[in-house]
Amino acid sequence: MTFQQAQDFICKSRLEKSISSFLPLKRRKWKLYHNKGSLLCLAEPEKKRFQEEKFKNLLRQALNSPYYSGVLEKAGLNPDNAMLEDLKKLPFLTKEIIRRQGDSLLAKSKSRLYQNASGGSTGEPIVFYQDKNYRENVWATMMVILEMCGWYYGARVARLWGAPQDKRRFRTLRGRLIYFFQNTRFYDSFNMSEENMLKYHYDMTRHKPDIIICYASSIYLLAKFLKKRGLKPSYPSISINTSAETLLPHMRSTVTEVFGRDVYDKYGSREISGIACECSLHRGLHVFEDNVILECVDPITGKDVYEKPGELVVTDLNNLGMPFIRYRIGDMGVISREMCPCGRNTIVLKKILGRITDNFYLKNGKIVHGEYFTHLFYGIRGIKKFQFIQEQEGEFTLDIVKNGNYTEDCLKRVLLGIRDVIGEDASLKVEFKDRIPDTSTGKHRFTISNVKRDFI
Ligand SMILES: [Zn+2]
- How far does the centroid of ligand 1 lie from the alpha carbon of residue 279, in Å? 5
- How far does the centroid of ligand 1 lie from the alpha carbon of residue 281, in Å? 6
- How far does the centroid of ligand 1 lie from the alpha carbon of residue 340, in Å? 5
- How far does the centroid of ligand 1 lie from the alpha carbon of residue 284, in Å? 8
- How far does the centroid of ligand 1 lie from the alpha carbon of residue 341, in Å? 6
Top-confidence residue, 293 or 21: 293
- Complete edge-to-edge strand list for the sheet that includes strand 310-316: 184-188, 157-161, 211-215, 239-243, 262-267, 276-278, 285-287, 348-353, 327-336, 310-316, 292-297
Query: What mean pLDDT is reported for the chain?
Result: 89
* Secondary structure string (H, E, C) spanning 398-419: EEEEECCCCCCCHHHHHHHHHH
- How far does the centroid of ligand 1 lie from the alpha carbon of residue 264, in Å? 12
- How far does the centroid of ligand 1 lie from the alpha carbon of residue 348, in Å? 8
Is beta strand 367-369 parallel, antiparallel or unpaired with respect to 359-361?
antiparallel
pLDDT band at 123 (very low <50, low <70, confident <90, very high): low
- How far does the centroid of ligand 1 lie from the alpha carbon of residue 328, in Å? 26
- How far does the centroid of ligand 1 lie from the alpha carbon of residue 306, in Å? 18
Positive/negative CA dihedral, 126, 447, 187, 215: positive
For the ranges 33-37, 280-284, 351-355, the lowest mean pLDDT is seen at 351-355
Q: Angle 448-394-251 (CA atoms, 0-180°, nearest 5)?
A: 35
CB 342 within 8 Å of CB 147: no
- How far does the centroid of ligand 1 lie from the alpha carbon of residue 286, in Å? 7
Does residue 443 have a pLDDT over 60? no
Q: What is the mean pLDDT of residues 2-27?
A: 79
Per-residue CA distances from 133 to 29, 324, 424 (Å): 9, 14, 45
Q: What is the mean pLDDT of residues 426-442?
A: 80
Q: How many CB atoms lie within 10 A of CB 32?
A: 21
- How far does the centroid of ligand 1 lie from the alpha carbon of residue 109, in Å? 37
Does residue 438 have a pLDDT over 70? no
- How far does the centroid of ligand 1 lie from the alpha carbon of residue 345, in Å? 8
- How far does the centroid of ligand 1 lie from the alpha carbon of residue 145, in Å? 12
Q: What is the pLDDT of residue 120?
A: 56
Q: How many CB atoms lie within 10 A of CB 351?
A: 16
pLDDT tens digits, one per residue of 327-359: 998 888 999 989 999 999 999 999 887 777 788
pLDDT band at 244 (very low <50, low <70, confident <90, very high): confident
Domains of the chain, with CATH numbers?
A: 1-356 (3.40.50.12780), 359-449 (3.30.300.30)
- How far does the centroid of ligand 1 lie from the alpha carbon of residue 137, in Å? 21
Q: What is the pLDDT of residue 121?
A: 56
Instruction: Categorise residue 353: left if φ over 0, alpha if ψ from -120 to 50, beta otherwise.
Output: beta
pLDDT tens digits, one per residue of 62-114: 999 999 999 999 999 999 999 999 999 999 999 889 988 989 999 987 778 99
pLDDT tens digits, one per residue of 138-166: 999 999 999 999 999 899 999 998 876 67
- How far does the centroid of ligand 1 lie from the alpha carbon of residue 251, in Å? 21
Q: What is the pLDDT of residue 138?
A: 95
- How far does the centroid of ligand 1 lie from the alpha carbon of residue 316, in Å? 22
- How far does the centroid of ligand 1 lie from the alpha carbon of residue 400, in Å? 42
CB 284 within 8 Å of CB 274: no
- How far does the centroid of ligand 1 lie from the alpha carbon of residue 344, in Å? 6
- How far does the centroid of ligand 1 lie from the alpha carbon of residue 280, in Å? 7
**AA letter at 362:** L
Top-confidence residue, 428 or 299: 428
- Burial (CB < 10 A; 0-12, 13-18, 19+), residue 232, is exposed
- How far does the centroid of ligand 1 lie from the alpha carbon of residue 209, in Å? 25
- Residue in 350, 329, 89, 367 with CA at minimum distance from that of residue 222: 367
- How far does the centroid of ligand 1 lie from the alpha carbon of residue 277, in Å? 9
| pTM confidence score | 0.85
pLDDT tens digits, one per residue of 384-403: 888 999 999 899 999 999 88
Ion ligand 1: residue ranges with CB closer than 5 A: 279, 281, 340, 342, 344
CB 212 within 8 Å of CB 384: no
- How far does the centroid of ligand 1 lie from the alpha carbon of residue 333, in Å? 18
Q: What end-to-end distance do the CA atoms of the chain give, in Å?
A: 40
Separation CA 282–CA 389 (nearest Å): 34
- How far does the centroid of ligand 1 lie from the alpha carbon of residue 282, in Å? 7
Q: How many CB atoms lie within 10 A of CB 191?
A: 14
* Secondary structure string (H, E, C) spanning 187-230: EECCCCCHHHHHHHHHHHHHHCCCEEEEEHHHHHHHHHHHHHHC
pLDDT tens digits, one per residue of 200-219: 999 999 999 999 999 998 99
- How far does the centroid of ligand 1 lie from the alpha carbon of residue 275, in Å? 15
Residues 6+ apart with CB under 8 A from 199: none
Q: Angle 137-159-229 (CA atoms, 0-180°, nearest 5)?
A: 150
